[in-house]
Every structure is written in C-alpha cells, then in structure tokens.
Amino acid sequence: NQFSLPRTQAEEVIEDIEEQVNGTGRIKRQAFRDKWYTRRLWSEGVNYYIDPSATEDKLYVFQETGCWSNVGRRGGKQSLSLGKGCESVGVALHELGHTLGFFHTMSRHDRDDYITINSENVKDDWHGEFTKETERTNYNYGLDYDYGSVMHYGIHAGSRNKKPTMIPTDVNHQETIGSEMLSFVDISMMNDHYGCKERCDPKISAQCENGGFPHPRRCSECICPGGYGGRTCAERPRGCGDVIEATTSWTQLQDTLGYGT
C-alpha cells in the first residue's frame, strides 16, 4: 500500500529512523507528532498566523505549575504555562484561546440561561474560574451559548466532592459539556473577534448555507458547522453518515456503532 505524508511529518519520520539506526532513539510520543499541530488547528479556520521569529510582542510558552494564560494580548513577552498534566492538545487549544481573547464559556454574561453553577461543590481555589462576566466585559457577537466549546469546562471541573459543579439547563448536554477540540462556534467567534469575515466580499464570495461562512483565506469556500460539508455547506460531509430515503411504510434499520465489540 502507498501513502503520502506532508513534508514536515515526513521529515520527522526520517529523523526517527536515523536516530534508531544511530542508536540514539528517543522515547516516541504516542500522539500525533506534528509540533505545529495546535497552531494549525486554530490557523486552518482563523485568518491569522504565528510568526516563529522573535518580535517585541511574543508568546512565551513554558512549563510552570498549572495550565494558565492571560486573556487577550498584553504586549511584550506574554506567558502561557503548560505545566505537568497540561500536555494534551485540548488544553493547549484552551490556553491559546485565552491568549487570543476568549473567556471561559461558562463565564459568559448570559450563562445563567444555560447552566447552573453549584457553588457548594466548587473547591475554594476554583471559584474564580466560574466568575460571570458582564455585558460590558463580554461580547459574544450574537453567537449562541456553546456547550461544546473548547473553552467550556466539564460538569465536574473543580469539584471538591466529585459532584457536578455545573448543571446544563438543556439536559441533553448533561454528558457532552466541553470538548478537546475546536467547535464551529469557537472558530466563528474568533473570526468575528479579529474581523476576519470582513475580508470576503459578500458579492463574490461563496454563498454559504446552514450557518456557514466564507473561509477568510479562500472566499470561494465555506467553513461549515458540524454535519454539513461541500463548498457551500449544503452537502453531507465526506465519510459521515449516509442518505436514507423515507417511504410510506415502516422500515427497520440496523447498524453498528464503534467496532462492534
């Protein structure tokens, strides 16, 4: 079988082979090895890039106690800590979200319409994580509250007694709060925040459907919400689901989730 790799990944594979041949093999990471992976996740959907060269304003990523970052650009050398236990892609995306200007989703000024905070279950040193912003400090560009945002904690975050610290108003989200990956709303809001959507002239850009919007760097294509694909978000994403025709009689459908084990 044949397969191809992007140049950066191919170079790392060659590097691994050379190190094994030379007897200097490092401990391999089990996860994806692309060192720019987290940067690409944001940049593929958001019209910005991080220049690795030194500038007066820079982001200093280092290992200190805990996972933390200031909210928004501060200027100069700005710190972002990924300490022990913070090594996952989801945590890095979350902290970069803070650096780029995002508060926690559960800190939105309108959060009480969507979740209830169980303060009695919150650890003493975690109460600050659940501070609610005001309309003056928090603007959400008209986008709905997103239970699946990478900026949303899980329901047991900061719990002192293993009981939920948050309860969703919509019980359908009881087990699906938070995410390790960027949601469509995350990407859409970041594009709004930096004015990236304005780069595409609506007269000549893709006419996106189902809530999608033109890609800021490829205005003839759309960035689509989950469940939609194609150039205008009017199609089913490749490899996702199937088309089933309804009939006037009952039909039994059978399928297998996962690996069937």
Tens digits of residue pLDDT in 242-256: 788 888 999 888 877
Q: CB neighbours of 69 closer than 8 A, spacing ≥ 6?
A: 78, 79, 80, 81, 95, 96, 98, 99
What lies within 8 Å, CB to CB, of 230 at 6+ separation is: 222, 224
Residue 235 designated active-site: no
Common-topology check for domains 7-99 and 105-198? yes
0.85 exceeded by the pTM? Answer: no
The pLDDT score that the predictor gives to residue 23 is 46
Asked whether residue 90 carries a pLDDT value surpassing 70, the answer given is yes
Choose the catalytic residue: 12, 64, 95, 120.
95
Is 152 annotated to bind a ligand? Reply is no
| Residue 221: pLDDT band with limits 50, 70, 90 | very high
Q: Which two tokens stand for residue 50?
A: 């991080």
The 10s digit of each residue's pLDDT in 154-168 is 999 999 999 999 999
22 pLDDT higher than 80: no
The pLDDT assigned to 58 comes to 86
Q: Which band of pLDDT confidence, cut at 50, 70 and 90, is reported for residue 193?
A: very high
Q: How far apart are CA 137 and CA 110, in angstroms?
A: 12
104 carries a ligand binding annotation: yes
Checking if the pLDDT of 30 tops 90, the result is no
Q: In the structure, what pLDDT confidence band is assigned to residue 206 with cuts at 50, 70 and 90?
A: very high
98 is in an annotated binding site: yes
Q: pLDDT tens digits for 179-188?
A: 999 999 999 9
- Please check whether residue 151 is in contact with residue 105, taking contact to mean a CB–CB distance below 8 angstroms: yes
Pick from 112, 102, 105: nearest CA to 167: 112
Contacts of 43 (CB under 8 A, 6+ apart): 49, 50
Domain 105-198 has CATH 2.40.160.40: no
Question: Starting from the edge strand earliest in sequence, which strands make up the sheet with 58-62, in order?
Answer: 58-62, 77-82, 67-69
Choices 3.40.50.1820, 3.40.50.2000, 1.10.10.10, 3.40.390.10: CATH for 7-99: 3.40.390.10
Domain ranges of the chain: 7-99, 105-198, 200-240
In this predicted model, what pLDDT tens digit does every residue of 44-72 receive, in sequence order?
Answer: 666 666 666 667 888 889 898 999 999 99
- Closest by CA to 232, choosing from 258, 245, 214, 217, is 214
The answer to whether residue 147 scores a pLDDT higher than 60 is yes
